[in-house]
Amino acid sequence: MTITIPTPPLFSFQECLWFLDRNYDDCLHVVTPNSVLKAIELEGEMILFEVKQIKDDLQVEVLQGTLTNAKLLSDYIKYWFDLDRDLVPFYNALAQDQELAFMSTKYHGLRLMGIENLFETLGWTIIGQQINLKFAYTLKRSLVEHWGKQLTHQGQTYYVFPEPTTIAALKVEMLRALKFTTRKAQYLIGVAQLFAQNRLSKSSLLALPDEEKILAELLKIRGIGKWTAHYAMMKCLRTANNIPYGDTGLYTVLNN
């Protein structure tokens, strides 16, 4: 099955591929020079798909699995690549800022690549706390390869992030064996248990009346600080007024 998705103005597929790659060993997708391959689970079915750009459209080809609802996959792609967002106001705002105006040229067409799964988003931010990205991706791969669902296509294995119920049942020592710190393991298992017990969900957070309430709810969770909460609100919940609070890399770029 092949799905065609029109692309909006101010969109660059190559810039998005660069962001997805950046020479880091991400275990949840495979980037080629002109496409990206990814596995997800839809309605209980593992699906492997490949995304390419053909003229002004994204072409999504299902390589493995039975897709019964094409709209679900189309909506997932639109969310992942942030295709429904109008970037014109943002570009206009960049043009008014002398220090940031370069971004509209240097990163022209780059979109805010999303993470649809809230547990995956929070899990990834907990994994990445206070360590460099290279080691963070190593920990993520170890976690995913041990407990994530998988499928194989043409000799390549594709993974999805583990389900909360799976991680909730782990012992701290099992994550320590993968080089997680004790505290990081406790945080990850604790968040998984909240999801598994239906005490935390994406829908419940989005049902809150404003961003301040969402932030306050996230900050109640052990292991979730302002950086993690704002990252999740930006990348998964798609609330408008968030950047990774206190991000040292961001401060370094803006101050140089």
Residues annotated as part of the active site: 247
* Summary count for the chain: helices (H), strands (E): 13, 7
Residue 171 backbone dihedrals phi, psi, to 5 degrees = -100, 150
Q: Which residues contact 135 (CB under 8 A, 6 or more apart)?
A: none
Q: Running DSSP on this structure, what letter comes out for residue 163?
A: P
Take residue 199 and report the two structure tokens written for it.
């005490």
Picking from 210, 209, 191, the residue whose alpha carbon sits closest to that of residue 201 is 191
Measured between alpha carbons, how far is residue 204 from residues 159, 243, 244 in Å? 27, 22, 22
What order of strands is seen across the sheet that includes strand 2-6? 2-6, 57-64, 45-54, 35-42, 30-32
